[in-house]
Each structure stands twice: as C-alpha cells, then as structure tokens.
Structure 1
Amino acid sequence: MSEHIEIGRADGVLTIRMNRPDKKNALTRAMYEAMTGAIAAAEAEDAIGCILFAGLPGAFCAGNDLADFMEIAKGGGLPTEVRGFLHALACAEKPVFAAVDGLAIGIGTTLLFHCDLVLATPRSEFRTPFVDLGLTPEAGSSLIAPRLMGSQRAFQMLAMGRPFDAAFARECGFVTEIVEEDVDGSGHKAARAVADKPREAVMLTKRLIRGDRADLLARIDEEIEIFAGRLTSKEAMAAFQAFFSRKG
C-alpha cells in the first residue's frame, strides 16, 4: 500500500483520495497498486455501492511521477501496477465517481473517461501532454476520447495537448457538472445517493450502458505496449531531460 493514497468508507461510499501534496498527486507505482487494491475491495464489499476518486485542493492529479517512470524506462516496459489499475478501473462493476479541483494532468484526465459521473470546480484544468513528452495516449483514451468528443477535439487534447477548462470539458462530455465550491462534499453526496439505490439494478444498468469492454481492454493493452516502447525513445528521453533541467 501507499502512504499517499487514503481510503475512506462512509455512507456506502469508498473514497480513494490521492494525497501527495508536495508532488501535486503525481502517481507512483505504489500509488497505482494501492488504488487497484481499493477498487478490488470496493467491488467485493457488499456495504459499498459507489467508488469516489478525490484529490487535494488545487490538485486532483498531476499525472505520472516522471522520476518514477525514468526508473521504469531503464528496465524496459511498464510495471504491472499500471496495467492492473487500468484494467480494474475499466472493468469496475460498481459506479465510479470523481470530484476534481485544480490540475488534472495526463492520467489525472484520462481516468475520468472511465467514471460514471465527474464533478469539477471552475478552476479545474484538464491536459494530456503525452506528445510533448515524446509519449502516446494511455488508459484507453485513444478509443474513448473520440467517442466522447469527436476525433477533432480528441486530437486537440491527445495530440496537441490543448488545455481544457471545466466548461469545455463539460461540453466535451467527460465532466458532468461544474460545482462552485466543496466539490468533495458534492461528490460524496452524489455517490451516497447512487449507493442508496438498489445495488444490483445500478450495476446491471451500468453494464448495459458501458457494454462489452473487450475492445477497451484490448486498446488499453495496445496503448501500454506503444507507451512502453516510447519511454526509451530519443524523443522521450530528450523531453524528460529537458523537464528535469527546468525543475532544477
């Protein structure tokens, strides 16, 4: 488990809170593993009717920890923690909600494509700078984003790295509602409301809405293989070195 992932249970809701303030909730392998375990626990517990992802004020998730990924690149491939989390998220039978405030970068945006409801504050910003880092999309986003927003807007987001504000994200279909304040409270209230409904009926309805996920899982795996190859590319290594030079 990771000290940077806090798990809470209340009112039939399991909350997965990313809590790494010094890195704006950039994800490490340990954080991925902890979140995968939390999803599995929620799926197995009869008392839980909804899963809620949350971050910190001003930072939902700043994407992957690049230092961690540099270490990964040296070994080749991507660790099982990343694949395990993405499969668990994509296959979750219980509703998955998210409460977003501030930065949602990379996986901080693409994980929202798998959520059944997303609340965001007006100051939230969604960005996927994969290409800027010499990388490619992940989390099934190359399949889901065009379905949600059309190929042109998906290209703006995934290839051009255009930042989307909360209003545009709502227009594109991956933010449900903009909440002026207390997005965590609003997220928990919405999650509790669905958790109070007949559980089996909710899960069956989600299954019908989501449909067969075989194509999504196949795309996730395809993206992972391409992404892993890109980690050791000259473009990615140059982009990472430039990033760390700026940080220094």
Structure 2
Amino acid sequence: MSSKVYDSAAAAVSDIATGATLAVGGFGLCGIPDALIEAVAASSTTDLEVFSNNCGVDDHGLGVLLSLGRIRRVTASYVGENKEFARQYLAGELEVELTPQGTLAERLRAGGTGIPAFFTPAGVGTPVADGGMPWRYAADGSVAIASPPKETRVFGEKRYVLEEAIIADFALVHARLGDTDGNLVFEKTAMNFNPLAAMAGRITIAQVEELVEPGAIEPGRVHLPGVFVQRVVHTGPQTKRIEKRTVRTAQGAR
C-alpha cells in the first residue's frame, strides 16, 4: 500500500481541478485547514463549489479563495463575518445555498455513510422546504436562480422535508493529531465539522499539527478512522485567529 503522507500541502492538493467540489472542515476560524486552503489559493484552480459551515473572514480561511474569485458556489449555514461574501452574493457573482446548521452536518455525515437522503423537521414551513430562497442574484438585483421546493412527507402526524446527502470530490480538514495511516484526533470545537467533512470527501486530505506512527494513538482516542482519509500532511502547530475580539474597560479605569 502506498503511503498516505505527503511532503507538502501543495503536493497534497495538486490534483484538485477547476470545477471541483470541496467539503471543508472547521467551525468559524477554529480548526480550519488553513495550510491546505492557502495551497489551493496558490494554484490556478478556480470555479470551485464549497460545502462548509462558513466561509471564513475576508483575509483568512475560505475567505482567501473567495477574495481571489475562485469560488463559484457555497453551501453553508453561517456567513455573517465575511463582507466580501455578502458583496459577491448581492452582486450576483456568487451562488449561495443557506441551510440549517444541523441539516448541513447531517447531509455531510449521510454522504460519508452511504445514505443518499433523509427526512428532517428542520426547515418545514419555511423557504428551506417551500423554495424561493435566492441562490443567485442578477446584476440588476433581481433573483436569477431561486431554490426549488423540496419533497415533504408526514410521519406520525408530523411533516418532514427531504434533504439530499453531500458527497464532495475532495475534503480538506484539520486535526490536532494524526498518524501515518490517517487516523485523526480533533480538539474541542474543531470536532464540530471536521469529522463530517472528512467523511463526505471522495478524497480526504488532512493537515495535522502532530504526526505519529501507527499504534501511537490509543484506539479509543481516535475520532475519525483512517479509512476515511486518503492523504495526510504534517503542517505543525496552528496559530488560532480570533474572529471577533470584544474587550471591556478594566474596573476603576477611566
């Protein structure tokens, strides 16, 4: 079996082609695969479709690819910290599908477990299920593409909406610890979307802060087994960016 370990982030993402779909881990700026994103940004790849909880901030995370005009479409559950995202969306330069956060998580998990679709109560009675949400605006501000209505069914006297699984060409994730077989350990909030994004990728690329040999991680500590991971890059410790810093005046200060 060939090694899963790549010498650099650039080598690991070198075959991500124009038009590819990417599932990207992270929650806010916590646990984002920043080295892999920067490697994609350094390539000529464009016209990407991204599935991620959010799109980073203007100059960090997926916001880097967005600012370069490399992303064509985004499926996300939160986009509030990125001004360029809002500008591109309202100008008709970016297609956006907003989905409930739990639904996005389950769509990624379903893709990784071979479940093609599932019913959920989230979004019933709203444009999420009924359709009509603006996916893309025209240059004049009119709606160029609107979301279609989704199938709903009643189970036990309660209505549910059908949501389809997400399977991406590639998944980019960050882990605190990994071994050369691809077994990964995530830290705290980074657990929220990294394992799910990893499961949804046909080819999953993991950047890890610490890389160890097989057997060094106790089986009970493994959060994501290596069967879901095809490539591993040792990128070293990650510097955590703060999305929004709030400070208060010290007591007694003027």
TM over 0.5: no
Structure richer in helix, relative to its length: 1
Structure richer in strand, relative to its length: 2
- The structure having more radius of gyration, on CA atoms, is 2
